[in-house]
């Protein structure tokens, strides 16, 4: 799965859309930016998006 984009949902917050490299299946997962035990880091998410954009340019 590669991240495609980050979207802001009005009720669910930030979400990342992924696509399977093999079959093309897409799924959306809510980011856990405010999780006290194991939060997602926005900088890491943005870096992944930048890298995935380069993947599609090739």
pLDDT at 58: 55
- CA distance linking residue 11 with residue 8, whole number of Å: 9
Contact 17, 4 (CB under 8 A): yes
- Residue 22's pLDDT is what? 94
Alpha-carbon span 52 to 11, nearest angstrom: 26
**Which pLDDT value is given to residue 28?**
92
Instruction: Map tokens 């998006």 to a residue.
Output: 49
- Quote the pLDDT of residue 53: 66
Residues 1-57 pLDDT 10s: 887 777 778 888 888 888 999 999 999 988 887 888 888 887 877 887 777 666 555
Measured distance CA(39)–CA(24) in Å, rounded:
27
| pTM for this model (two decimals) | 0.59
Domain coordinates of the chain in residue numbers? 2-57
């Amino acid at each position: 799965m590669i991240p495609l984009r980050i979207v802001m949902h009005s009720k669910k917050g930030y979400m990342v859309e992924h696509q399977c490299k093999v079959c093309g299946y897409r799924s959306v997962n809510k980011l856990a930016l405010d999780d006290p035990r194991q939060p997602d880091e926005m900088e890491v998410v943005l870096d992944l998006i930048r890298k995935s954009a380069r993947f599609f340019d090739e």
